[in-house]
């Protein structure tokens, strides 16, 4: 009896050894890996980190005072609290409690007042009694700005300079785009993704990572979405997030080792999710929001916690849909969101609650403006008191300008502005900061004082409830310029220079140009050389060197000038005037002996002209005739008729004048020169 044959033959692939089976592929392609290398916002492998200092002001005061991190500490400003460290928060304290309430709940708490500027001081300082002198002191945040610069410099110094993108979001938080750095580390660790894509096709899928389990150390991992499982093998986005978490962990350790500050961090695929992650678990921790956990992470949040949704827009969304949670907004279609909020806002909200944010990390961390302000209680009432506060404002701003590099000409502001509030009216004045001089404290004070004077001149300046001074329009200073002294040589260096050989050539004598703008100069008469014998050359001293001339010519030239009323600017100078016809009294020069075919003698000026220039010469005479015809001789004054009747002379009577400006009837009076009677009919 034969064995039973199975109804279906087994697949040939199932009989092959595991090494020859088709390898599983990743959902990411070589194109995604390429865009990941240059930190593209569209790359699904993108990794963004957000670092947030824990109770930053309180930490700064604790480090400055040398306190243990476990000591309860609060930062005081006048009668309120602006920062409370985490040991003090364990007693239920927050920034809304008063100092008295804080000491009742936590008797061991230390309340440190912020640094202040005192009226008349040129530097900020700490004072235990500052809260008692609110009328003559102003808060200074310079100690915290200085520590922020140290932290930012530490972060930049730790990350590779050619691959870092660091954005200062505020005085105590920083965004990092780690995509380029993580890409380089991935290529070093995993050889399977180093080569070119198969068939040179960037749309080909990447091979799956060889790792099946990832060690997240002490990181806080957000739970995966409902359809995801931790049993699933990781993909390349998980590998990228793991490497980024290692980098951020080392950055936080560097900050603590050098400056003794703790900070929390969040990591995800964009800035919005990373910022929410850094606040998810504090203090001194970091949270990783993987791509497979985004919806699970956001669904538990109120959307008013998302950046740009905590103000008026968030209130508008709450009022429109009667909810403040992300989970309630997810089922709403995009069309309804756009209809209610507008096309752009509705589309943005639809994407943001799903974890989509394409905002880029801006590495430019330079400040754009500086402000120093004071609200007066009670108000100030005179110009001198305001000037004392302007001194403090200027000192405050100038110290920050020095830190910004204004003394080294790295950066400098272009404008200074003053804001003045009296009652419910606020007035502002601004002026440019002179660019030709270095910025000094006295120079800024004079500018501020001048702006205040303009406000006072306008009237109703007192009592003043608030005064502020600001500088803005920062630009990079010009560096590397050399003074004029660097182009000069002195002393022995100047003596060693070779001396150029002296030249004894005399410059050619200058000659005054004669006949500027005349017709003869326009035509460029070739007869100029033939008439040069009757023209005086003008030397440098202004004296005429008379050559051969004819007394008859001088006399006729004098008559010609007298006939036209003296020196007529419309007449050409004698050098450009044509010669007159030959008369018995005039001696004509002998023409050169030339072939009659190559030259001809002008009948007007007796000059010998080449045949090819004959037409041009005749045009010259024609133009000269036209110019003399256009000169209109002065009209003689009209003869006044003799009248003996006084009434006629005064305009009275029927036969007298017809009135001033009215013409006489045709036929009345004498015809003028050139007029004639016209025959009609």
**Which residue has tokens 């701003």?**
397
DSSP state of 93: -
pLDDT for the residue numbered 496: 72
Adjacent-strand bridge partners of 125: 116
**Which residue has tokens 């009248």?**
643
With a cut of 50, list the residues of the chain below it in pLDDT. Answer: 1-22, 527-596, 643-659, 661-668, 681
* Cβ neighbours of 30 (radius 10 Å): 19
pLDDT for the residue numbered 677: 63
Q: At what angle do helices 312-321 and 334-341 cross, to 10 degrees?
A: 120
pLDDT for the residue numbered 598: 65
Asked if residues 76 and 114 have their Cβ atoms less than 8 Å apart, the reply is: yes
pTM exceeds 0.75, yes or no: no
Torsions phi, psi for 156 (to 5 deg): -65, -35
pLDDT for the residue numbered 22: 47
Beta strands in 391-435 (DSSP E): 411-412, 415-422, 425-432
Tens of pLDDT, residue by residue over 347-363, are 999 999 999 999 999 98
Cα separations (Å) of 521 from 515, 517, 528, 532, 620? 7, 7, 9, 14, 10
Cβ burial 402-413 (10 Å sphere, 16+ → b, else e):
eebebeeeeebb
**Coil/strand/helix, residue 171:** coil
Beta strands in 54-135 (DSSP E): 73-77, 80-84, 110-113, 116-118
Torsion of CA 490, 496, 497, 498, to 10 degrees: 150
Strands 286-288 and 25-29, by their bridges, are: unpaired
Average pLDDT along the chain: 79
pLDDT for the residue numbered 123: 85
In 3D, which of 609, 604, 633, 606 has the Cα closest to residue 621?
604
Distance separating alpha carbons of residues 277 and 220, to the nearest angstrom? 9
pLDDT for the residue numbered 670: 55
Residues 6+ apart with CB under 8 A from 675: none
Residues 6+ apart with CB under 8 A from 634: none
Tens of pLDDT, residue by residue over 541-586, are 433 333 333 444 443 444 444 444 444 444 444 444 444 444 444 4
Beta strands in 246-321 (DSSP E): 263-268, 286-288
**Coil/strand/helix, residue 325:** strand
pLDDT for the residue numbered 579: 46
């Amino acid at each position: 009896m034969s064995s039973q044959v199975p109804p279906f033959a087994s697949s040939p692939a199932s009989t092959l050894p595991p090494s020859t089976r088709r390898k599983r592929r990743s959902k990411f392609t070589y194109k995604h890996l390429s865009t990941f290398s240059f930190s593209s916002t569209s790359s699904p492998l993108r990794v963004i980190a957000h670092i947030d200092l824990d109770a930053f002001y309180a930490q700064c005061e604790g480090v400055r005072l040398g306190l243990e991190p476990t000591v309860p500490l609060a930062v005081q400003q006048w009668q309120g609290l602006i920062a409370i460290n985490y040991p003090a928060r364990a007693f239920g304290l927050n920034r809304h409690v008063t100092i008295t309430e804080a000491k009742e709940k936590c008797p061991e708490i230390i309340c440190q007042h912020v640094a202040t500027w005192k009226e008349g001081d040129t530097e900020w300082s700490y004072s235990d009694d500052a809260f008692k002198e609110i009328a003559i002191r102003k808060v200074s945040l310079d100690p915290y700005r200085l520590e922020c610069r140290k932290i930012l410099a530490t972060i930049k110094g730790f990350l590779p300079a050619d691959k870092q993108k660091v954005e200062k979001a505020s005085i105590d938080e920083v965004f990092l785009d780690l995509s380029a750095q993580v890409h380089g580390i991935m290529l070093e660790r995993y050889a399977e993704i180093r080569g070119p894509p198969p068939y040179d096709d960037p749309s080909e899928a990447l091979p799956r990572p060889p790792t099946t389990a990832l060690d997240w150390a002490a990181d806080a991992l957000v739970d995966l979405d409902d359809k995801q499982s931790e049993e699933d093998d990781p993909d390349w986005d998980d590998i990228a997030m793991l490497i980024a978490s290692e980098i951020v962990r080392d950055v936080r350790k560097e900050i603590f080792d050098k400056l003794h500050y703790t900070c929390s961090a969040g990591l995800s695929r964009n800035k919005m999710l990373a910022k929410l992650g850094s606040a998810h678990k504090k203090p001194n921790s970091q949270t990783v929001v993987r791509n497979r956990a985004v919806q699970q992470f956001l669904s538990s949040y109120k959307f008013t916690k998302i950046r740009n949704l905590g103000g008026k827009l968030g209130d508008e969304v709450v009022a429109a849909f009667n909810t403040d949670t992300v989970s309630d907004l997810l089922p709403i279609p995009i069309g309804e969101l756009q209809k209610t909020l507008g096309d752009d806002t509705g589309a943005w909200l639809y994407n943001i609650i799903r974890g989509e944010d394409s905002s880029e990390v801006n590495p430019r961390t330079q400040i754009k403006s500086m402000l120093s302000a004071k609200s007066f209680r009670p108000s100030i009432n005179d110009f001198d008191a305001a000037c004392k506060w302007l001194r403090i404002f200027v000192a405050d701003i100038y110290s920050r300008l020095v830190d910004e590099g204004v003394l080294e000409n790295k950066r400098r502001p272009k404008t200074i502005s003053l804001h003045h509030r009296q009652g419910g009216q606020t007035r502002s004045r601004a002026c440019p900061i002179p660019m030709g001089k270095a910025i000094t404290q006295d120079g800024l004070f004079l500018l501020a004082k001048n702006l205040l004077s303009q406000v006072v001149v306008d009237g109703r300046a007192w009592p003043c409830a608030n005064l502020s001074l600001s500088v803005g329009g920062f630009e990079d200073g010009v560096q590397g310029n050399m003074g004029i002294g660097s182009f000069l040589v002195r002393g022995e260096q100047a003596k060693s220079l070779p001396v150029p050989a002296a030249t004894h050539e005399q410059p050619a004598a200058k000659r005054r140009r004669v006949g500027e703008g005349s017709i003869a100069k326009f035509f460029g008469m070739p007869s100029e050389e033939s008439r040069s014998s009757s023209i005086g050359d003008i030397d440098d001293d202004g004296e005429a060197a008379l050559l051969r001339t004819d007394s008859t010519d001088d006399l006729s030239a004098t008559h010609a000038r007298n006939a036209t009323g003296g020196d007529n600017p419309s007449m050409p100078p004698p050098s450009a005037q044509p010669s007159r016809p030959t008369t018995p009294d005039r001696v004509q020069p002998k023409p050169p002996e030339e072939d009659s075919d190559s030259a001809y003698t002008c009948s007007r000026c007796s000059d010998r002209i080449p045949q090819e220039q004959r037409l041009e010469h005749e045009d010259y005479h024609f133009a000269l005739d036209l110019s003399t015809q256009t000169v209109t001789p002065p009209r003689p004054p009209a003869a006044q008729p003799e009248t003996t009747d006084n009434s006629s002379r005064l305009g009275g009577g029927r036969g007298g004048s017809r009135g001033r400006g009215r013409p006489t009837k045709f036929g009345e009076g004498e015809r003028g020169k050139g007029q004639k009677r016209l025959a009609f009919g």
